[in-house]
Amino acid sequence: MEEANQVTTDNALAPVETDRVTLLKNYAAIRENKDALKSELSMVQKALDLAEEQLVACMENENLQSFNDQTYGTIYLRGEVYVGIDNFQALQAWLRSNDLKDIIKQTIHNSTLRAIVKEHGDAVLGVNTHYVTKIGVRRNKA
């Protein structure tokens, strides 16, 4: 009776192992595909960044803030501000002197800091700012 149970148990495990191997192969193939797509996406992003830089330069050379295209819609220049803290003590002092002491915490969220810099410009002390011009697109309504 014990031998019969042993055979049954062994046979019951065999399909599970086969399923496991099949599932592993499927998992590995999907993961490889994901890695290949990530690599391809990285190359596409680099090409997109270059195309954006070229379009921004072209629009700036033509003194255009925006233009309309029948296929793509309204293409416009938009500014993005990137900020970082160079001197936290100087920033804290500036925030206190400008009635913004309520936002002083252990850290200051980047979006909050960016909003302050957008509002007050280069007057904000203790931060470094980097302005980048990007392309914005408003699609035509179908």
| Segment 93-125, tens digit of pLDDT | 998 899 888 888 777 888 888 898 888 888 888
Mean of per-residue pLDDT scores for the chain: 86
Look at residue 11 and tell me whether its pLDDT is greater than 70: no
- Give bridge partners of residue 125 from the DSSP assignment: none
Q: Which amino acid is at 16?
A: V
d(CA 38, CA 18): 30
d(CA 112, CA 104): 11
- Which residue bears the tokens 């990530």? 38
